[in-house]
Chains A and B, each alone.
Chain A
Amino acid sequence: MHDAVEALVQDGDTVAIEGFTHLICFAAGHEIIRQGRRDLTLCRLTPDVIYDQMIGAGVASKLVFSWLGNPGVGSLHAVRRRIEHADPAPLEIEEYSHFGMVCRYVAGASNLPFFPIRSYFESDIPKVNPNIKAMVSPYEDATEVHVVPPLKPDVAIVHAQRADASGDAQIWGLLGCQKEAAFAADRVIVVCEEMVEESVIRADPNRTVIPGVIVDAVVEEPFACHPSFTQGYYDRDNAFYLAWDEIARDAASLDAWLDEWVYGLANHAEYVEKMGAQLWDSLRPEPAMSGEVDYGRYA
């Protein structure tokens, strides 16, 4: 992880660590904090606790998003301090709706100049974001739509259950925008719970979401999504989300948390060890295996 972030994430970059409540790569965010990156534009549909940590740590100057909060808990206090009070510095924001953000990635991934959607009518969102524009279809029905511009991050960091050494990544459960963000980005870091043989990937090609051909680095990092979850591997650590609400209310306690859990540790393996085996045991779900399908052999 250290090498991937050092080589692929630069000061001033536009960075998307995607994952819709699921597969949010906290370990990558922590490494970016640890390496002291600055002036990033952070993109995500749902900036949650990892972006609160990163923005609290001062890595970002701008946030592009569609829903800002600690899901199921409440607010992101570090982000709010910067937006409401410019404390300790202002944070530029550019906001959309979920569908708008999704379609920005789709446009970016498809090499399109914009993407039309049926949203934003009679809403104030376009008034505060001039990048959302009204348009009339050039075809006979002259349907009114709004269009959003492509989003092409310099770097996308996506987590997956498993990948092979080439970066061919397989994901199941909530897919979020992992695929769209990866295809839209200039550089891609895939992080996975388990590195597997290429034959495992080839045995179930429908489950491959990201092909290695667009991947610049692949990192095996178990429990990298804590306190978010990886379907089939570990549950969301809800106690941490609740605890973060208290930690982040105060800049000093947030800094102390970063000192203890990010700056004070060399890497995510140390974080996993420090959290303790009991936590990981408690988050492991009972198995619920999928059925098998027969792809058939056509020799």
Chain B
Amino acid sequence: MSNGAPTALADVGYSKSEIMIAASARQLDAVRNCFVGVGLPNIVCNLAQRIVSPDLQLVYESGVFGARPERLPLSIGDPTLVTGATAVTSMFELFAYYLQAGLIDVAFLGAAQIDRFGNINTTVIGDYANPKVRLPGSGGACEIAINARQVMVIMRQGKRSFVDTIDFRTSPGHSGDPAHDAARGWWGSGPTSVVTDLGTYTFDEATGEMTLSTLHPGVTLEHVGESMGWQPKVAAELGETPPPTAEELRLIREELDPGGVYTK
């Protein structure tokens, strides 16, 4: 366990993916039931289970509650998620009784495009009927955005992904009108955090707008501004993201992604 002050390694000594993973994992402190995606979120949740949240239950939309994967899952339907799990349910049960009924504390979503209010597009680039790029679509993301109590986003940022106007709203975020959001009656109401390769963001309680909260070591405000399609709102006290600790890096490299599939 390495819950104390992070120890910086010499010469940075970690990849952009590794600081994204560590920063996200620490946000899962004391979380109980977490809806996991494949790739980075999977490593984030497995790391969180080892460093900050030993009771974290990994939930997968394929119908698995309380997974204990013995290898890095290759997809959200990997057989390693089944063997040794607390429960395996039909997809109907997973979405209806676990997600829709409000049991999911945190869910991770990815995005091809995200806007300043955390609205997410995973459907199409360009016009829906005449697409430039056809993306996978919702999967479970639309209902996850609405029914998870908190949504966290982990993604690399750039001008093509952090856009002023998304081409299609697959999964709703904040509306920009907090009174409206509070009246929605959903379990959740827009993402609560975004972690990228440049920094971490929260969402302003008064406006629902994405707000830069910390910069990763070595990243400048200018760099962030050049990597998004709008002028970012910046927290009054902009901090620096603590780098991954030696123990976090050891867990990521030796136990969670020894092949470096998602972390190099």
Do A and B make up one complex?
Answer: yes
A residues near B (Cβ < 8 Å) are: 20-22, 45-46, 65-69, 71-72, 79-80, 83-84, 95-100, 102-103, 106, 117-125, 128, 143-144, 172-177, 179-180, 229, 231, 235-236, 238, 285, 288
Q: Is B90 within 8 A of A97, CB to CB? A: no
**Considering residues B38, B92, B138, which has the most beta carbons from chain A within 10 angstroms of its beta carbon?**
B138
Mark out the residues of chain B between 76 and 127 whose CB falls within 8 Å of any chain A CB in the assembled complex.
76-79, 82-84, 88-92, 95-96, 99-100, 123
Tell me the complex Cα distance, A278–B142, Å.
42
For the complex of A and B, list the 8 residue pairs with the smallest distance between their C-beta atoms, beginning with the closest: A21-B77, A67-B139, A119-B143, A122-B172, A72-B75, A97-B138, A71-B75, A69-B136
Q: Is B141 within 8 A of A97, CB to CB? A: yes
Known interface pairs A68-B134, A122-B172, A176-B62; A99-B78 also in contact (CB < 8 Å): no
Name the A residues within 8 Å of B168 (CB-CB).
124
Name the B residues within 8 Å of A79 (CB-CB).
134
Known interface pairs A121-B184, A174-B88, A175-B88; A96-B138 also in contact (CB < 8 Å): yes
Q: Is B142 within 8 A of A175, CB to CB? A: no
Name the B residues within 8 Å of A67 (CB-CB).
136-140
Q: Can you pick out 14 interface pairs between chain A and chain B where the beta carbons lie within 8 Å of each other? A: A20-B62, A21-B75, A21-B77, A21-B78, A68-B134, A99-B100, A100-B143, A106-B92, A120-B142, A123-B171, A124-B123, A128-B129, A144-B185, A236-B78
- Residue B161 interfacial (CB < 8 Å): no
Mark out the residues of chain B between 157 and 194 whose CB falls within 8 Å of any chain A CB in the assembled complex.
168-172, 175, 184-186
Q: Is B134 within 8 A of A238, CB to CB? A: no
Name the A residues within 8 Å of B135 (CB-CB).
68
Tell me the complex Cα distance, A94–B92, Å.
20
**Considering residues B92, B123, B171, which has the most beta carbons from chain A within 10 angstroms of its beta carbon?**
B92
Known interface pairs A21-B76, A84-B133, A235-B79; A98-B90 also in contact (CB < 8 Å): no
B74 to chain A: closest residue by CB: A72
- Residue B132 interfacial (CB < 8 Å): yes
Q: Is A175 within 8 A of B74, CB to CB? A: no
Tell me the complex Cα distance, A297–B76, Å.
39
Name the A residues within 8 Å of B96 (CB-CB).
99
**Considering residues A100, A119, A121, which has the most beta carbons from chain B within 10 angstroms of its beta carbon?**
A119
Name the A residues within 8 Å of B140 (CB-CB).
66-67, 97-99
Q: Is A229 within 8 A of B79, CB to CB? A: yes
Interface of B is mostly: loop
Among candidates A98, A119, A122, A175, residue contacting B169 with C-beta atoms closer than 8 Å: A122
- Residue B131 interfacial (CB < 8 Å): yes
* Cβ of A20 to closest chain B Cβ, rounded Å: 5
* Cβ of B59 to closest chain A Cβ, rounded Å: 13
Tell me the complex Cα distance, A125–B123, Å.
9
Name the A residues within 8 Å of B256 (CB-CB).
none
Tell me the complex Cα distance, A96–B84, Å.
32
A81 to chain B: closest residue by CB: B134
Tell me the complex Cα distance, A122–B175, Å.
9
* Cβ of B41 to closest chain A Cβ, rounded Å: 13
Among candidates A98, A122, A179, A238, residue contacting B143 with C-beta atoms closer than 8 Å: A98
Name the B residues within 8 Å of A83 (CB-CB).
131, 134
Among candidates B61, B79, B131, residue contacting A236 with C-beta atoms closer than 8 Å: B79
B141 to chain A: closest residue by CB: A97
- Residue B155 interfacial (CB < 8 Å): no
Q: Is A121 within 8 A of B186, CB to CB? A: yes
- Residue B22 interfacial (CB < 8 Å): no
- Residue B128 interfacial (CB < 8 Å): yes
Among candidates A45, A66, A236, residue contacting B75 with C-beta atoms closer than 8 Å: A236
